[in-house]
Chains A and B, each alone.
Chain A
């Protein structure tokens, strides 16, 4: 009986397995091989670990990497707080116009990240952007949104939160609605304030959801590319160039495919470490209630 189940299980995943091997495992192995070669797109020459040795001495690689970490470190809490705040507001019984608000907050999820970038670029364009135009109308000095590295970084963070809220909001709202009402009623009886209820009932009840949201956000932000590409193109200079864009530029603009493969292997290892940590905490995918 048990064996029959296993057989059927394999049969059901077979198609996926083949696709996985052909379109994921095989290219990944090729990537490992390319990372050990000097490859310009035409001829690959085996050079051993030279790419890795050069990579770990390359200051632009470290800059892209540290920018990515900084972006993740600030961006993830930011995304988490905004989506949770929006979800709490949208599930609160005191809020008016929830349906309209849901549609508005969900809208960014419907457009491609590239469009998100273009929209924000249009709003925060330095010379003729909408925001600077408004600032000048009320008599202020225009802000160097794109030529100052810190402002550009800030704009990227805002755009990330704007684009990422929709999906997380859906997950949070599901979790918030399923918190038993009796807990809040009991707190009301004991005279708990709104803030106390949030801290002692809401947050603990959505712990596993929070965990999921944070992990997904970490992965998404570590791999951010299309939105930033169209928003700042990594600029000014390389101030918002994150690791995936760095890999793209070395691989396709400078045609150093081997070198870029080595960089992606490093990214792969970092993401793998994050997944293992997640696996450990989530106990191998079992959701703990």
Chain B
């Protein structure tokens, strides 16, 4: 009896293993088949950005006959998805990414030449051991939007040229007046995001968190700025629920009852086509010590081992050519990353111009910090999510003091990047 059972068990497991073996084999076959024909380009993006790359891929197919399959992956899954594909030794040819995983290190194509030929701003990309492994594809920057209708109703002015840029004091006074004079519910909202908070910190003279000897530390200005941020979350200037409970800042601003919104250039296309109930405007961000934004954006990477490295390189070269890149930036509403690009945006041209000014006037910390942190995602063993944002959320909810929060961030960054 026991024997029968054992025999049966072995038989069933063999069948199961055999089946799974077959599956992976056939997957492998279909994988190599597609390698021969279509090049896979992994992209995550909303309809605007995703369709921009699809349009360019179609144009490339028309011109060269090389087919490209644009695969849309949810933003949060991108890094995990590609890491798994690499583990299975079947990476896609190309991907547009914002984050990296240590497993990718050493498996990204060296794109130094391609980038230099096409005047791509190489210092905005990721360079590991003198190889440019991830050139920038587009650039985003943190910025301020205001509800112009509310400002006009309250009779409050705002800076319209760089000479009139406001300080945080002036800005906070202005939005308080707007809240008093109109039916606005809040003075401002800021996305629940470390990236936006960092811009706020830089403007107050913070240098962010940086290594000093064998541990991470920060300067005094960081604490003062964070204290100001906590004070602003008083349910009058800013709604506390956005940071502590993750309410959607963007839809609050779009409701028309918030005076100002600290977000970034990626909102322009959306606002220009979707806000109809009131007039909005991109304005210069306030400053305290220095003017600063925080740069972000996507990188373009090609993978070694996809079997299509040459085709991928040709496509990247084609995409960065002046005429093609300008077309891509127009479709996607991107700030360009090639030095000679002149982009004619279909919507809100002046908002894009303002962002260019903002970037030009920004303290260098705005780009340095971003690139350092992203390089760390690629070369250290453990990557850190948004440590500062997480600690600030619990601080805002009175679960710990600001000092404890800062101390925790230092310890977490030291553990992740130094130990």
Contact = CB atoms under 8 A, between A and B. Distances in A.
Interface of A: 3, 6-7, 10-11, 14-15, 17-18, 22, 40-43, 125-128, 144, 146-147, 149, 152, 232-233, 235-239, 253-256
B1 A235 contact: no
Contacts of B1: 3, 6-7
Contacts of B381: 40, 42-43
B103 interface: yes
Contact of A146 (B9, B241, B399): B241
Given A10-B8, A127-B186, A238-B399, A232 B245 contact: yes
B385 A147 contact: no
B8 A126 contact: no
B252 interface: yes
B394 A238 contact: yes
Contacts of A40: 102, 381-382
B112 interface: no
Nearest to B102: A42
Nearest to B87: A42
Interface of B: 1, 4-5, 8-9, 12-13, 16, 83, 101-103, 185-186, 235, 239-241, 244-247, 251-252, 255, 257, 381-385, 393-394, 396-399
A190 to B, nearest CB: 55
A147 B394 contact: no
A237 B393 CA distance: 5
A43 B382 CA distance: 10
Contact of B385 (A6, A10, A128, A253): A253
A147 B384 contact: no
B241 A126 contact: yes
Q: Please name the 10 residue pairs, one residue from A and one from B, whose CB atoms are nearest each other, closest first.
A: A237-B397, A236-B244, A146-B245, A235-B245, A147-B240, A147-B241, A126-B241, A237-B394, A233-B246, A146-B241
Contacts of A128: 251-252, 255, 257
B5 A10 contact: yes
A7 B4 contact: yes
A126 B12 contact: no
B255 A255 contact: no
Contacts of B12: 14-15, 18
B185 A41 contact: no
A41 B100 CA distance: 13
Contacts of B103: 41-42
A127 B247 contact: yes
Contact of B252 (A127, A144, A232, A235): A127
A259 to B, nearest CB: 11
A14 B245 contact: no
Contact of A147 (B16, B235, B257): B235
Given A126-B239, A232-B246, A237-B397, 10 more contacts: A14-B9, A40-B381, A40-B382, A41-B101, A125-B247, A146-B244, A147-B240, A232-B245, A235-B393, A237-B398
B113 to A, nearest CB: 30
Contacts of B9: 14, 17-18
Nearest to B381: A40
12 contacts: A40-B382, A41-B83, A43-B381, A127-B252, A128-B251, A128-B255, A146-B247, A235-B245, A236-B241, A236-B393, A237-B397, A255-B382
B393 A126 contact: no
Nearest to A255: B382
A256 B416 CA distance: 11
A41 B86 CA distance: 13
Nearest to B242: A127
B399 A237 contact: yes
A127 B185 contact: yes
Nearest to B387: A254
Given A6-B1, A128-B255, A237-B396, A147 B244 contact: yes
Query: Max chain A CB contacts within 10 Å: which of B185, B235, B241, B247?
Result: B241
A22 to B, nearest CB: 7
Contacts of B399: 237-238
Contact of A237 (B244, B382, B385): B244
Nearest to B246: A233
Nearest to B393: A237
Contacts of B102: 40, 42
Nearest to B13: A18
A15 B4 CA distance: 15
B246 to A, nearest CB: 4
Contacts of B257: 128
Contacts of A255: 382-383, 385
Contacts of A6: 1
